Amino acid sequence: MALGLDVVFPADARLFDEGAEADRFWLLRGGRVALDICVPGRQPEALVETLGPGQLLGWSWICPPYRWHLGARAVTAVEATEFPATDVLALCAADPELGYALMRRFTEVVAERLQATRIRLLDLYAPHGSGPP
Check which CATH number belongs to the domain holding 55 and give it.
2.60.120.10
Q: For the residues 114-119, what does the mean pLDDT come to?
A: 82
Task: Answer yes or no: is 46 within a domain.
Answer: yes
The answer to whether position 133 is within a domain reads no
Encode pLDDT of 10-52 as tens digits. 999 999 999 999 999 999 999 999 999 887 777 778 888 899 9
Q: Name the DSSP class of 45.
A: P
Backbone phi and psi for residue 89, each to the nearest 5 degrees, phi listed first: -65, -40
Q: Is residue 131 part of a domain?
A: no
| pLDDT for the residue numbered 57 | 95
Cα 41 to Cα 45, 52, 53: the distances in Å are 10, 29, 32
Q: With pLDDT > 90 as the criterion, what percentage of the chain qualifies?
A: 58
- Neighbour-count burial for 20-38, b at 16+ CB within 10 Å, e otherwise: eebebbbebeebbbbbbbe
- The confidence score (pLDDT) of residue 116 equals 80
Helical axes 85-94 vs 96-125, angle rounded to 10°: 130
Q: Is 99 left (phi over 0), alpha (psi -120 to 50) or beta?
A: alpha
Q: What is the pLDDT of residues 71-111, one digit of tens each?
A: 999 999 999 999 999 999 999 999 999 999 988 988 888 88
Tell me what pLDDT residue 48 has. 85
Whether residue 65 has a cis bond before it, omega within 30° of 0:
yes
Q: What is the pLDDT of residue 44?
A: 77
Q: Which domain holds residue 70?
A: 5-125
Q: Indicate the number of domains in the chain.
A: 1
Average pLDDT over the chain, rounded to an integer:
89
